[in-house]
Amino acid sequence: MKDPVIVVTRKWPEPVEHELRRRFPSVQLNQDDTPLGRDGLSHALQHADVVLPTVSDHMPAELFEGRLRTRFLGSYGVGYSNIDVDAVVRAGVVLTNTPGVLTDATADTAMTLLLMAARRAGEGERQLRAGAWEGWRPTHMMGAEVTGKTLGILGLGRIGAAVARRAHFGFGMPVVYYDAAETVPDHGVPGATRLDTVNEVLEAADFVSLHMPGGGGNRHVIGAAQLATMKPSAFLVNSARGDIVDQYALVDALRRGTIAGAGLDVYEDEPAVPRELREMENVVLLPHLGSATLQTRTAMGRLVLENLEAFLDGRRPPCRVA
Ligand code: DGY
């Protein structure tokens, strides 16, 4: 393909937009960063050879019906539960993602949530900014100790393992985990104990961090019954995908004290966040910042480009998922 028509659905960091413009002079960038929405995405799939969407572009099956011009979908992100993969395959479109380059940034975000939730950092900052802090006293805003407590990981892929390493080496935390895959690669997590079920992890852990993909069978893996299995002193951290957790069951569990607290970076219907969660003190809420560093977001863009160039050269893209 000589001069492919390329649509980029959202604004990318400047270094990678520069690279895109240099290599593909007629690339259509989204300078004002307005989401394309259903109609814009449909138009792009019908008129562009290449579409480069992000994890916030919802691409259900109906978008891939009928005659499409697009042959390559280079998703800017590791998770792709926002895209109907079966429909992509039926339409004969190649789909790629960006694993690996965002592992550390996302693991750092999970640890941020864990620490903030345990030590009531959001609540403390809100109190101080509101001018309501009355000074040091022995019983002021006591949180939960992190060092030495048990971390439960659901999904020991790259990111889950990076969180486990941080917890093990940095905070002396024993790690237990569940992974649906029969064997998990050795990610250098010394002494992590594999348990047979999600519930065993939930029962054993003081902190539970979610790292499985969203969508499909992982929808609402954490619901009322699972939350009831956790210790009342435990915390849930979700930096993976919002739909893994039934967020109204979580609201209920946080209200009733079924668990002590939570730290969330992702939500079922982003960017909507239930008012109940926004009004609670025992939950830390971030706006899907998992991979949000300039270094990582630039690396993600470069990997999209690497995938695209392989496709255009007739090679197998390194991160092809469909
Ligand atoms: C991803 O890549 O899947 C992340 O959620 C975006 O940071």
Straight-line distance from the first to the last Cα atom of the chain, in angstroms, rounded to the nearest whole number: 20
Looking at residue 187, its pLDDT comes to: 82
From ligand 1's centre to the CA of 156, what distance in Å?
A: 16
Whether 288 is catalytic:
yes
Q: What pLDDT score does 145 carry?
A: 98
Taking CA atoms only, the protein residue closest to ligand 1 atom 4 is 77
Which of ligand 1's atoms lies nearest the C-alpha of 76?
2
- Reduced to 3 states (helix: H, G, I; strand: E, B; else coil), residue 19 is helix
Q: How far is the CA of 67 from the centre of ligand 1 (A)?
A: 29
* Per annotation, catalytic residue among 270, 302, 306, 320: 270
Asked if the bond preceding 271 is cis, omega within 30° of 0, the reply is yes
Task: Give residue 257 CA to ligand 1 midpoint distance, Å.
Answer: 30
Q: Which residues are within 8 A (CB) of 170 and not within 5 positions of it... i.e. 6 or more apart?
A: 111
Which ligand 1 atom sits nearest the alpha carbon of residue 240? 5
Q: From the CA of 139, how far away is ligand 1's center (Å)?
A: 39
- Pocket residues for ligand 1 (CB within 6 Å)? 55, 77-79, 102, 290-291
* Tokens matching residue 240: 């993976």
Structure confidence at residue 185 (pLDDT): 81
Radius of gyration of the chain (CA): 21
126 is catalytic: no
* Catalytic choice (120, 158, 168, 288): 288
Q: What is the pLDDT along the chain (322 residues), one digit of tens a residue?
A: 778 999 999 999 999 999 999 999 999 999 999 999 999 999 999 999 999 999 999 999 999 999 999 999 999 999 999 999 999 999 999 999 999 999 999 999 999 999 999 999 999 999 999 999 999 999 999 999 999 999 999 999 999 999 999 999 999 999 999 999 998 887 888 889 999 999 999 999 999 999 999 999 999 999 999 999 999 999 999 999 999 999 999 999 999 999 999 999 999 999 999 999 999 999 999 999 999 999 999 999 999 999 999 999 999 999 999 9
Question: What tokens does 309 get?
Answer: 């160039």
User: What tokens were used for 90?
Assistant: 């039926």
Is 270 part of the annotated catalytic residue set?
yes
Q: Which of 54, 78, 266 to mutate to test the pocket of ligand 1 (most atoms within 8 A of CB)?
A: 78
**Residue whose CA lies nearest to ligand 1 atom number 3:** 79
User: Separation of 98 CA from ligand 1 center, angstroms?
Assistant: 9
Q: For residue 202, how many other CB atoms are within 10 A of its CB?
A: 25
Q: What pLDDT score does 289 carry? A: 98
Global pTM reads: 0.97
Tokens read off for 186: 């050795």
Nearest to 311 by CA among 100, 95, 102: 95
Task: Give pLDDT, residue 248.
Answer: 96
Task: Give the integer Cα–Cα distance in Å for 201 and 278.
Answer: 28
Task: Tell me 316's DSSP state.
Answer: P
